Structure 1
Amino acid sequence: MHFSNPLLVSALACAGSVAAAGVVGEAFGFAAGTTGGGDAEPVYPTSIDELTGYLTDSEPRVIILDQEFNYIGSEGTTTEDGCRPDSNTCPDNGGQDAINGANWCDGQTAVSVTYDTAGVTSIDVGSNKSIVGSGTSAVIRGKGLRITGGSNVIVQNIHITELNPQYIWGGDALTLVDTDLVWIDHVKTSLIGRQHIVAGYDASNRVTISNSEIDGSTSWSASCDEHHYWAILLLGEADKVTFQGNYIHHTSGRSPKVGGTTLLHAVNNFWYDNTGHAFDISENANVIAEGNVMQSVKTPLNEGAELLFSAPDDSANAACQDPLGYVCEVNVLTDCDSDFSSAAVTSFLSSFEGEGVTATSASDVANSVKANAGVGKL
C-alpha cells in the first residue's frame, strides 16, 4: 500500500521503513518501486570532485551528503553577449537579463553577461543512485543534477541553490530526461536562474516529486517583483508524474507548466504567494488537481487549459471512484483573483488507474506541508 499524506509518510519513515540504506521511507505514486542504490555500502564524499565521480559512475551508489559542496568558481567565469528581454523592465532594480541559452536571445537587445560557468551545466547522474542528505547539512551550491539515460534514482533531503540566479538560462536545479523511476523527496531548490525542476522533452516516464520546497524568493526576477517565474516545467512524452505534499511559494509563473503528453496528479500541495499563474496546461497534457491549497495565487490556472480535472465539488468528484478507488478531494483557494472550478474534464481519469495514492482533505494541507516539506524534515 502506498500513502500520499505527507504526515503519514513521515510517520512511517520515523518507524524505520526504508527503501535503501540511507533513504528514509519508500517511493510511492507513479515512482513506486524505485530503490536507487539499494543496499550498496554508503559512501561519504568530501570534495566536489569526489561527489561528481560518485554521481556519474556506473556503480549502484548510496551517496550520503553531510556537508556543503560548493561548485561556484570551480570552472571559472564566462563573459559573453547575452540579452535584455522585454520582461526586464527593471534592469537597475532586480530584473533578470539572459544568457543566450538555445539561441534564446535572437532578436533581443544585446548586453554583456558574466556568469559562473559551473552553474549552466548540470552533473549527469547515473542509474541506480540514492543521493541522500544528512540533517540540514546537504547543500549543493552552484551546480544542478541531470538524471538522464538511465533509471532508478532517489534524490532526498538535498538543498540545491545559487545557479546564476541573476540570469535566465543560468542553470536548472533538477533535470529529468530519457529516464524512468525517479523519486525526488524532501528536496529544496532556491536561487535558480532558470527552472527549479524540468522534465522533458524526451520521456521521463514514472516520477514522484514529494514533500519538496520550491522557493522562488529572489533578488532577480523576470517579473520584477522578487518572485521567480521559471519554476516547474513538465514536458515529457507519456510521463506519469505524482506531485504531492510540495510547498511552492514566491513564484510568478510555470508552477507548473505542463505539456507534452504528461499525466500529472497534483495532490495535497500548498501554493503560496504567486504573483502570476500556477498551472499552465497545454492541449495534450492531462492533469488531476485535488486536495490542494492555493493562497494568494493571482491566477491559479492560465487560460487555454483543456484537460484538467480540478475536483470542483463532491458531486463531480465522485467520478474519481472507479479509476482511482476513492472520491477526489476539493481544492481550497483563498485570496486568489480567480479559481479553476469550471475545469472538470473526466475523460482521461482512467489513465491514472493504479497510481496507488489517496488524497486527504485540504483542510490541514497548508500546515502539514509547511511542517514536512523541504530539507531536515524527514
Structure 2
Amino acid sequence: MKFSILALASAYSASAAVIGERATYRVSGAAEGFAKGTTGGGNAPCAVPSSVAQLTAWLTDSTPRCIILDKEFNYIGTEGRATETGCRPSSNTCPGKGQDAINSASWCTNGNAGAGVKSVSVTYDKAGVKAINVASNKSIIGVGSKGVLRGKGLRIANGARNVIIQNIHITQLNPQYIWGGDAITLNGADLVWIDHVKISLIGRQMFVAGYEASGRVTISNSEFDGQTSWSASCDGRHYWTILLLGGSDMITLKGNYIHHTSGRSPKIGGNTLLHAVNNYWYSNTGHAFDNEAGGQVIAEGNVFQNVATPLKTNKGHFFASPSTTTNTACKNYLGHNCQLNAFGSSGSFPGTDTSFFNNFKGKNIASAGKASSNIASTAGVGKI
C-alpha cells in the first residue's frame, strides 16, 4: 500500500510538472504592424490534443483555445489516397524532378498549364489538398521545434478572425504536384498573426490570401524554405511561394527568411496594401516581387542576396526605398524614415512611387531597422 501511495504521488508530481511546463508555452510577444492587437485564444487554458482528430476538432469549434503542439501531428493517410488523371504542364521540362499537376479547378484543361500539355496519372494524399478550417479566437503554438503539422494546411476564412499561429512547421503537402495543397490560406478573415512558422515541401502556395478581404495580417519571423526535389522551375526551388490577391488586405511582412524559391515571393494584386520590411531573400533564380494591378507596396530594409530579379513587373504602386532623398518621404506616413534595401549578386529593384503613401497613414505600422542577413538565424521554428 505504501508503494502504491508513493507511486501515485510520483505520477501526480510528474503530471503536475508537465502541466506546469506546458502552461509556459503561451504566445510569445505581440504582433507588430497591421495585425497589432491580435489575441488569438486569449487567456484560454492551454492544452495538447491527443490525436489529429482532436486537433481538427479544437481548431474548428467555436470555443476560444490555446492549442499546444508538442509533437508531430501527421495527417498523411488519414483521408486516403486518390488516383486520377492530371497533367504534365509545359513548365515540367524535367520529368521526375519537376511538378506534374492535379487537375484542380480544371487547371490542366483551361489553358493555364501551357501549350503541349500531356495527360498523366497522378496519385496523391487527399488530406493535403483540403485544409483545416480554423475558427475564430485560436492560438496554435509549437513547443521548441517539435510542433509539426505534416500533410495538412490551415485555412482561415468565411469571417474567421483573431488567430495566432506561432512556432510550428507545416510540411509535406503533396510537394510533387501543383495543386497538391496550400500551407496557410486566408480568404475573408481579419486579425491574423503568423509568427516563427516554417513552411517547406508544399505542392502549391506556401501562403495565399484569396480574393475576399483578409483584413489585418502580420507574417513575421517566419521561414519559407523552397528547397524541393519537385521544382516547377526544374532547379530544386519552389515557385509557388506567397500569393496576395485579396480585396482590401493590409499585410505586414517583417523579419522573414525567404530562400531557395524561383517566383511569387510574393506576387501581389487585388487591393493589397503591403509593408515588406527587414526580410531576407536568398537564392532566388527567378523573381521575388511581382506587383500586379491593385498592389500597393512599400519595401524597405530588406536584403536580396543571389536574387535574379527582385521585382519582375510593376503594374500597381511600388516604393523600393531607393535613396536617402526619398526615404524622408516616409516619415509623415509610416512614422519613420524608410530604410535602404541591400543587395548582393542581385538584380535591380526600381520603385520611387510615393503617391499611395496616404493609405498607410494612421494605421499600425511595424518598426524598421537596417537591412541585415542575420534574419536567417532568427526566423523559423525553435527560435523564440
TM-score between the two structures when normalised by the length of structure 1:
0.92
Mapped to 2, the partners of 1:317 and 1:143 lie a distance apart of: 42
For the residue of structure 1 that corresponds to 2:313, the secondary structure is: coil
Q: Does 1:46 align with 2:50?
A: yes
Q: Cα deviations across residues 154-178 of structure 1 (Å, max 9, x unaligned)?
A: 0000100000000000000000111
Deviation of the 1:374 alpha carbon? 0.2
Q: Does 1:65 align with 2:61?
A: no
- Larger Rg, first or second structure (1 or 2): 2
1:160 alignment counterpart? 170
8 Å CA contact 1:210, 1:243 repeated in 2: yes
Mapped to 2, the partners of 1:325 and 1:37 lie a distance apart of: 30
Deviation of the 1:112 alpha carbon? 0.5
Mapped to 1, the partners of 2:316 and 2:106 lie a distance apart of: 30
Counterpart of 2:76, as a letter, is I
Counterpart of 2:281, as a letter, is W
Deviation of the 1:333 alpha carbon? 1.2
Q: Does 1:375 align with 2:381?
A: yes
In the TM superposition, what are the counterparts of 1:214-253 in structure 2 within 5 Å?
A: 214-253=224-263
8 Å CA contact 2:224, 2:259 repeated in 1: yes
Q: Does 1:140 align with 2:128?
A: no
For the residue of structure 2 that corresponds to 1:62, the secondary structure is: strand
Mapped to 1, the partners of 2:75 and 2:320 lie a distance apart of: 41
| Structure 1 consecutive aligned stretches of length 4 or more whose deviation exceeds 6 Å | none
In the TM superposition, what are the counterparts of 1:1-378 in structure 2 within 5 Å?
A: 22-92=26-96, 94-106=97-109, 108-149=117-158, 150-336=160-346, 338-341=347-350, 343-353=351-361, 354-362=363-371, 365-367=372-374, 369-378=375-384
Mapped to 1, the partners of 2:269 and 2:313 lie a distance apart of: 14
User: 351-360 or 307-316, which moves further after superposition?
Assistant: 351-360
Q: Which runs of 5+ in 2 are unaligned?
A: 1-23, 112-116
1:16 alignment counterpart? none
For these two proteins, the number of residue pairs brought into alignment is: 353
Mapped to 1, the partners of 2:352 and 2:364 lie a distance apart of: 20
Deviation of the 1:21 alpha carbon? 6.9
Deviation of the 1:46 alpha carbon? 1.8
TM-score between the two structures when normalised by the length of structure 2:
0.90
Mapped to 2, the partners of 1:328 and 1:315 lie a distance apart of: 10
8 Å CA contact 1:95, 1:166 repeated in 2: yes
2:9 alignment counterpart? none
For the residue of structure 2 that corresponds to 1:302, the secondary structure is: strand
Deviation of the 1:326 alpha carbon? 1.2
Counterpart of 1:84, as a letter, is R
* Identity among equivalent pairs (%): 62
Q: Which runs of 5+ in 1 are unaligned?
A: 1-19
Mapped to 1, the partners of 2:217 and 2:335 lie a distance apart of: 21
8 Å CA contact 1:151, 1:182 repeated in 2: yes
For the residue of structure 1 that corresponds to 2:337, the secondary structure is: coil
Question: What is the root-mean-square deviation in Å for CA atoms of aligned residues?
Answer: 1.1
Mapped to 1, the partners of 2:74 and 2:365 lie a distance apart of: 38
**Closer, same or farther: CA 285–304 of 1 in aligned 2, 3 Å:** closer
Mapped to 1, the partners of 2:32 and 2:316 lie a distance apart of: 28
